[in-house]
């Protein structure tokens, strides 16, 4: 049974001997009572033996079967726990909602996902405030996504694994330090009563040139003690460490109010080959556990795991910063990562990627490994083969994310938990981001790899403006680059490009906001734009400086989409009015009616203008209309044409004069080309239109977009029909729709 299973429960480490365990009087009580006593003191293996004996005497006792199921759950034997839960799960007199969850988790760990989903749904109905069931159901619905890249990594067990539990690797100069329960020949360690295995120590294994690891040796005696030593992290080129250990200082155990020796974090420095006497970190506490450290390269940001009060669930991940010579008050990193379950074994790369294990998010079963980008806040399951339906945890990766180590109790291992090495068999995309004007590389830009509208990898560019992605050469991707003060940029990566070379290099320029816009051809478009802008300015000046004849002068913007969607809106006395869905009134978003009429307006733009002008004139308003049409694109292009800039400038004027509005862009293609390609092209067109507006000073928060590809043609020019270029042109468009706040 995996010894590190005790790391999953809210009480992480238990040390004390079971009171009365050796007292002859305990043998005079019945087996169930003695089993309850063993269970109370976390001796689940001993409790299981007693409950089994009690059940042999009275085989019809369902409550004993439930206790056996719970023991197997805590000993991390999902096959046995599922068997025993299944025999009692319908017994309403003893079953609580939490048992539905435990049963579902066991089924999931045994790859019985359809049945597990059923019990997660039952648990969700019973405990609607627990998000785990929803996450698990969503994960089961996404199983194909978790499994689809199962051939993209090589995963190999290390040659140093033992029959005991080996886990939680940490990078150390010339090798790795890991945690193991392999027994020592000298009798300095006790047997852990949880599952009758040895206590944990740190071991060091040097890496060899042939890729093998040399025989492990005990780490330094100032660090290893007679109690548990747990996950650790090294920094400052291996000269400093923070590590997990039972509450032990100066050879004395510290116990909580309930007589449990909890986890604490300790700091030590190396001078030569000697590690200094460990120092307890300031946020340690006798009454809750603190452990599993991960630290930034500069040693100033520390992530760790705790079951301290006020957390989201069993164990959460917290962060503390080095400030003024001490560690700050820990802060829970929040609901993107932490769940009502257990999050643990964090590790950190220099590129801002946080890896951790969880049994609260959706996944393949047991503990799964997740990656969380600390900049973009994007979370994703690493999928197979790094994750299985067993427990997978404790991953450490080199900065490129292409290789590293982790632990698992998957089938085929040598012991309870084993160490594994992973390396990518994917192709590489190397991205270099630079300033379009200066040509200088841009550091700390957000570089995201997108597959099917989903971010699958995300990094910050380094000092050279570089970021690398490992990709499947049989798939298409989009690389999206974003940096504050710059327009976002995207590049399409086709599978054919990836299959040409082992390394594909992309140089992606970023353009600063509010830089002068260049036109695509030497036409008079610039002059026409200036003329139009002046016209708008003249009309607006009449609003801001009205004379006696124009006190009620208003501009009505009319958005005319080729798909038939027409919108009119105007602004009067700092209030924006829009024709409502009935087409029979002009209302504000707070439902104030400016004017109403009996007959709904049709979709014909000119007729609507005449009718609306008639209604407004009757109210004393002097009305002028500005019509905004769709913008169009050349075949297979997403460049903003000169004619399109005229209507985009009208959109800018609209949004500037109506600060309470947001705009939705809907982009389309004609039917030529594949569905996937057209979907990507439509998205590029939407982004091009959005970037134009951003460059004119419109806030990104006010613009949303959708890309429909060829799904919403405005005529019958589908794949099966030949059409001339004029007909196809009608479909290559971006439509505009305003949205009230």
Q: What is the mean pLDDT of residues 76-87?
A: 94
Three-state DSSP state, 255: coil
Pairwise CA distance, residues 296 & 302, whole Å:
7
Does 370 have pLDDT greater than 90?
yes
Q: What is the mean pLDDT of residues 419-444?
A: 87
Listed residues 484, 510, 536: the one ending a domain = 510
Residues 6 or more apart whose Cβ sits within 8 Å of residue 149: 383, 384, 472
Q: What is the mean pLDDT of the chain?
A: 83
pLDDT value of residue 532: 40
Q: Are 370 and 322 in contact (CB under 8 A)?
A: no
pLDDT at 669: 93
User: Residue 559, class by beta-carbon neighbours within 10 Å (0-12 exposed, 13-18 middle, 19+ buried)?
Assistant: buried
Residue 618 lies in a domain: yes
Tokens of 97: 């909602």
Mean pLDDT of the region 361-383: 91
Is pLDDT above 70 for 606?
A: yes
CA distance 531 to 537: 10
Q: In terms of domains, do 34 and 82 share one?
A: yes
Query: How far apart are the C-alpha atoms of 374 and 609, rounded to whole Å?
Result: 51
**Same domain as 552, residue 497:** no
The tens digit of pLDDT for each residue in 330-353 reads 999 988 999 999 999 999 998 788
Residues 260-308 have pLDDT tens digits of 768 899 999 999 889 999 999 999 998 899 999 999 989 999 999 999 9
Q: Which of 143-157, 409-423, 725-739 has the lowest mean pLDDT?
A: 143-157
Average pLDDT over residues 399-410: 88
Q: Cα separation of 517 and 529, whole Å?
A: 12
Tokens of 102: 């435990």
pLDDT at site 505: 79
- Whether 397 is in a domain gets the answer no
pLDDT of res. 544: 46
Q: Does residue 336 sit within a domain? A: no
CATH code for the domain in which residue 125 is found: 1.25.40.10
Q: Are residues 545 and 650 in the same domain?
A: yes
pLDDT of residue 118: 96
User: Given this model, what pLDDT does residue 198 score?
Assistant: 63
Mean pLDDT value of segment 201-208: 89
pLDDT at 526: 29
User: Token pair of 137, please?
Assistant: 């159901």
Q: What is the pLDDT of residue 73?
A: 93
What percentage of the chain's residues is helix, strand, coil (to nearest 5)? 25, 35, 40
Is 83 a residue whose pLDDT tops 90?
yes
Give domain status of residue 607, yes or no: yes
Residues 593 and 621 in one domain: yes
Average pLDDT (637-663) is: 88
Check residue 117 and give its pLDDT. Answer: 95
C-alpha to C-alpha distance for 644 and 192, rounded to whole angstroms:
74
Q: Domain span at residue 112?
A: 3-146
Residue 656, pLDDT > 50, answer: yes
Whether a cis peptide bond, with omega within 30° of 0, leads into 178 is no
Task: Tell me, yes or no, whether 544 and 667 share the same domain.
Answer: yes
Give per-residue pLDDT as tens, 459-485: 899 888 998 888 877 678 889 899 988
Q: Say if residue 548 is in the same domain as residue 486.
A: no
Report which listed range, 471-480, 540-549, 583-592, is most confident: 583-592
For 662-690, what is the mean pLDDT?
88
pLDDT higher than 50, residue 501 = no
What number is the average pLDDT over the span 495-508? 66
What is the pLDDT, as a whole number, of residue 520? Answer: 41
Check pLDDT > 60 for residue 108: yes
Q: Which residue, of 460, 485, 510, is where some domain finishes?
A: 510
DSSP state of 195: T
- Last residue of some domain: 510, 543, 566? 510
Task: Give the domain CATH number at 489.
Answer: 2.60.40.10
555 and 616 together in one domain: yes
- According to DSSP, the residues that pair with 435 across neighbouring strands are 510
Whether the predicted pLDDT of 672 surpasses 80: yes
Q: Considering the domain boundaries, does residue 274 fall inside one?
A: no
Which of 83-92, 184-193, 236-245 shows the lowest mean pLDDT across its residues? 184-193
Instruction: Say if residue 543's pLDDT is above 80.
Output: no
- Regarding whether 530 and 506 lie in a shared domain, the answer is no
Q: Using the predicted structure, report yes or no on whether residue 451 has a pLDDT greater than 60.
A: yes
Same domain for 691 and 585: yes
- pTM of this prediction? 0.61
CB 628, CB 729: distance < 8 Å: no
Q: What is the mean pLDDT of residues 674-687?
A: 86
Confirm whether 290 is domain-assigned: no
Residue-wise pLDDT for 221-267, tens only, equals 788 877 778 899 999 999 999 999 886 555 555 555 555 768 899 99
Which CATH number does the domain housing residue 683 bear?
3.30.1330.60
Residues 694 and 557 in one domain: yes
- Among 404-408, 412-416, 424-428, 565-569, the range scoring the smallest mean pLDDT is 424-428
One domain, residues 530 and 664: yes
Same domain, 125 and 32: yes
Q: At 147, is the pLDDT very low, low, confident or very high (cuts 50, 70, 90)?
A: confident
At residue 220 the predicted structure's pLDDT band, cuts being 50, 70 and 90, is confident
- The pLDDT-based confidence of 518 (bands split at 50, 70, 90) is very low
Count of structural domains within the chain = 3
For residues 576 and 660, is the Cβ–Cβ distance under 8 A? yes
Asked, for residue 603, whether it belongs to a domain, the answer is yes
3-state secondary structure (DSSP) of residue 659: coil
Answer whether residue 322 is part of any domain.
Answer: no
For a pLDDT cut of 70, what percent of the chain falls above it? 84
């Amino acid at each position: 049974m995996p010894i590190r299973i005790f790391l999953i429960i809210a009480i992480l480490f238990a040390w004390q001997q079971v009171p009365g365990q050796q007292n002859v009087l305990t043998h005079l009580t019945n087996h169930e009572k003695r089993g309850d006593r063993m269970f109370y003191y976390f001796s689940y293996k001993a409790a299981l033996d007693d409950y089994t004996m009690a059940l042999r005497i009275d085989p019809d006792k369902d409550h004993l079967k439930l206790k056996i199921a719970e023991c197997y759950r805590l000993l991390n034997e999902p096959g046995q726990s599922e068997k025993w839960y299944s025999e009692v799960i319908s017994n309403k007199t003893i079953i609580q909602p939490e048992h539905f969850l435990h049963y579902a988790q066991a089924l999931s760990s045994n790859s019985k996902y359809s049945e597990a989903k059923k019990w997660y749904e039952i648990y969700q109905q019973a405990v609607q405030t627990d998000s785990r069931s929803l996450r698990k159901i969503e994960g089961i619905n996404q199983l194909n996504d978790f499994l689809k890249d199962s051939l993209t990594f090589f995963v190999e067990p290390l040659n140093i694994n033992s029959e005991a539990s080996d886990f939680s690797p940490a990078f150390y100069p010339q090798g790795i330090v890991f945690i193991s329960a392999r027994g020592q020949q000298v009798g300095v360690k006790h047997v852990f009563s949880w599952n009758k295995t040895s206590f944990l120590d740190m071991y060091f294994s040097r890496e060899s040139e042939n890729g093998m690891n040399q025989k492990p040796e005990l780490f330094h005696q100032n660090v290893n003690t007679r109690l548990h030593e747990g996950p650790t992290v090294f920094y400052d080129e291996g000269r400093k460490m923070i590590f997990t250990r039972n509450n032990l200082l100066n050879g004395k155990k510290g116990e909580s109010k309930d007589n449990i020796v909890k986890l604490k974090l300790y700091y030590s420095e190396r001078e030569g080959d000697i590690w200094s006497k460990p120092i307890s970190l300031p946020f340690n506490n006798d009454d809750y556990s603190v452990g599993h450290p991960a630290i930034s390269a500069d040693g100033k940001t520390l992530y760790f795991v705790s079951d301290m009060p006020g957390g989201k669930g069993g164990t959460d991940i917290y962060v503390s910063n080095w400030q003024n010579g001490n560690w700050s008050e820990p802060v829970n990193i929040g609901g993107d990562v932490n769940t009502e379950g257990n999050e643990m074994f964090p590790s950190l790369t220099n590129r801002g990627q946080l890896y951790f294990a969880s049994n609260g998010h959706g996944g393949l079963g047991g503990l799964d490994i997740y990656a969380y980008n600390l900049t973009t806040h994007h979370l994703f399951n690493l999928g197979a083969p790094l994750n299985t339906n067993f427990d997978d945890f404790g991953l450490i990766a080199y900065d490129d994310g292409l290789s590293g180590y982790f632990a698992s109790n998957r089938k085929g291992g040598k012991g309870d938990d084993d160490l594994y090495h992973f390396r990518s068999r994917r192709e590489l995309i190397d991205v270099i981001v630079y300033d379009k004007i200066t040509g200088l590389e841009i550091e700390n830009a957000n570089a995201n790899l997108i597959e099917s509208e989903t971010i699958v990898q995300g990094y910050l560019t380094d000092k050279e403006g570089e970021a690398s992605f490992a990709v499947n050469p049989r798939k298409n991707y989009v690389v999206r680059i974003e940096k504050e003060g710059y327009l976002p940029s995207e590049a399409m990566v086709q599978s054919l490009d990836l299959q040409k070379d082992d390394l594909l290099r992309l140089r992606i320029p970023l353009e600063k906001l509010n830089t002068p816009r260049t036109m695509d051809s030497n036409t008079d478009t610039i002059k026409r734009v200036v003329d139009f802008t002046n016209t708008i300015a003249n009309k607006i000046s009449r609003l801001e400086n009205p004379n006696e004849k124009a006190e009620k002068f208003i501009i009505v913007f009319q958005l005319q989409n080729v798909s038939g969607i027409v919108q009119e809106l105007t602004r009067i006395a700092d209030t924006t009015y829009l024709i409502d869905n009935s087409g029979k009134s002009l209302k504000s978003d707070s439902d104030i009616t400016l004017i109403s009429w009996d007959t709904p307006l049709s979709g014909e733009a000119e007729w609507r203008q005449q009718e609306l002008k008639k209604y407004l004139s009757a109210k004393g308003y002097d009305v002028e209309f500005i019509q905004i049409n769709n913008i169009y694109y050349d075949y297979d292009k997403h460049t903003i044409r000169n004619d399109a800039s005229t209507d985009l400038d009208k959109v800018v004027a609209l949004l500037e004069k109506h600060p309470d509005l947001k705009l939705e862009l809907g982009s389309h293609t004609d039917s030529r080309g594949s569905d996937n390609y057209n979907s990507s092209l439509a998205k590029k067109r939407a982004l091009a239109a959005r970037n134009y507006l951003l460059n004119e000073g419109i806030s990104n928060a006010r613009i949303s977009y959708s890309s429909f590809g060829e799904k919403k043609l405005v005529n019958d020019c589908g794949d099966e029909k030949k059409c001339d270029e004029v007909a196809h042109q009608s479909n290559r468009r971006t439509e505009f729709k305003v949205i009230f706040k």
